[in-house]
A and B are shown apart, each in its own frame.
Chain A
């Protein structure tokens, strides 16, 4: 492990009813987050390779934790998303280095497929800052029932020299979706869009 991890947190959320109406099957989503030391905190560093490699490690670790928390095999996951919050002594670019170049491949390896772009968000903030992890269908970004987001936060992270990195995975879309659009039954799942 290149990453110096202080904490790993998993969140599982199940929705059983909405407006008093049963949600059947129950919708479930999970997020796994790691709090890591930012090796580049407090200074400008041109080459961010170390963080891209940390991103690759976290891609498999956090995805495995998230599907494990849902208790499903990776290929049964329906949507996904990723996000990072950089502590105040770091740059937004540090989050980008973790999330974008290398994190996706191991995520897709755990999930079996993943033709669609992994939606992402990033920010800089202090301990307890909330991360809204965007969610989209893993094989077809246009599946409207799966456009969603999951808020997580860790009260003591990120400290100034840390980065909070999170991956969210679901086994379903929103509870009671009814705004039309492409449904998951209609997708081809080849181009990542439809």
Chain B
């Protein structure tokens, strides 16, 4: 059991009304919850790191709940999600991979058993590094209108011995989605794909 030492918490909410086309009847909202924590494995190679995933569970749940609240409070209104991590330079990419399970399961749990895999990305970087967090539909990965991404970052993080963890949720399709493919209204939502 390692302590999760939190330095910063950042919430970003975007409300998108149009992108040069007609004004959306319901604006698209995207939110990101970011936390900056100390990397307990920074500066050395540690083989047994997997136990830290469990230590991150409460933080994941808290971030997922924060996102639902930031987007209006109704888990049913959440249609897209994604996650990511930026590992400070004294850490390894593998430390970012520790976020897959706690981040993903936290969002599924809060959203009442979302079916689709949570799209993700990660990298090593310095303070101010930006991360394009991929976003897909929560119940069916192939829904084309919901393929999206949200760029996130924090000016002073991650420091060398830190990790920045990100969760992202959205309330719908891209604001002027019109390139066809599987529609959200057509999904079965059983296998997480279609």
Interface residues of A (CB under 8 A from B): 5-18, 20, 69, 128, 130, 151, 153-155
Cβ–Cβ contact A17 & B5, under 8 A: yes
Residues of A within 8 A of B18 (CB): 6
Cβ–Cβ contact B14 & A15, under 8 A: no
Q: Assuming A17-B5, A155-B130, A155-B151, is B16 touching A12 (CB within 8 A)?
A: no
| Pick from B10, B13, B38, B155: contact of A14, CB under 8 Å | B10
- Band of interface residues on B: 20 to 34
Cβ–Cβ contact A10 & B12, under 8 A: yes
| Pick from B5, B10, B15: contact of A8, CB under 8 Å | B15
Residues of A within 8 A of B38 (CB): 20
Interface residues of B (CB under 8 A from A): 5-19, 38, 130, 151, 153-155
Q: Assuming A10-B12, A151-B155, is B7 touching A17 (CB within 8 A)?
A: yes
* C-alpha gap A17/B154 in the complex (Å): 15
Cβ–Cβ contact A7 & B7, under 8 A: no
User: Could you list some 23 contacts between A and B, CB below 8 A?
Assistant: A5-B17, A6-B16, A6-B18, A6-B19, A7-B14, A8-B14, A9-B12, A9-B15, A11-B11, A11-B12, A12-B9, A13-B10, A13-B154, A14-B8, A14-B9, A17-B6, A17-B7, A69-B11, A69-B13, A128-B151, A151-B155, A154-B14, A155-B130
The smallest C-beta distance from B67 to any residue of chain A, in angstroms, reads: 12
The chain B residue sitting closest to A17, CB to CB, is: B7
Residues of B within 8 A of A20 (CB): 5, 38
Residues of B within 8 A of A130 (CB): 155
* C-alpha gap A15/B157 in the complex (Å): 12
Nearest 4 pairs between A and B by C-beta?
A155-B151, A151-B155, A12-B11, A14-B9
